[in-house]
């Protein structure tokens, strides 16, 4: 994935990114994207680990109490329940 990451970084060099108007949580840092770091975070998530539990914890700290899983299965719903129980 490092080669893909390098190619993607070269590809997006000419793009200009701004912070999203609606907060979007970065898979890499479990924090909202900020204007100056969008490209770096997008590149980093290609080979970086998804910080799922950190993302859910962050959302809970912001007052989010309802999570909906879209698509088949209940895997993510189960993981959210574990995070909620661990932080209760």
pLDDT in tens, 58-80: 999 999 999 999 989 999 999 99
Residue 25 pairs in a beta bridge with 32
Q: Using the predicted structure, report yes or no on whether residue 88 has a pLDDT greater than 80.
A: no
pLDDT in tens, 16-64: 888 888 989 999 999 999 878 899 999 999 999 999 999 999 999 999 9
Which pLDDT score is estimated for 30? 95
Provide CB contacts within 8 A for 58, sequence distance 6+.
Answer: 25, 30, 31
Give dist(CA 19, CA 52) in Å, integer. Answer: 21
Read off the pTM: 0.82
At residue 70's C-alpha, the angle toward residues 65 and 73, to 5°, is 105
Give dist(CA 28, CA 77) in Å, integer. Answer: 20
């Amino acid at each position: 994935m490092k080669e893909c990451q390098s190619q993607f970084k070269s590809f997006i060099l000419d793009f200009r990114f701004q912070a999203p108007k609606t907060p979007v949580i970065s898979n890499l840092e479990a924090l909202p994207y900020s204007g100056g770091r969008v490209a770096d975070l997008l590149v980093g998530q290609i080979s970086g680990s998804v910080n799922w539990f950190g993302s859910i914890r962050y959302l809970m700290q912001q007052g989010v109490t309802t999570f909906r899983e879209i698509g088949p299965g209940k895997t993510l719903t189960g993981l959210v329940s574990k995070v909620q129980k661990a932080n209760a």
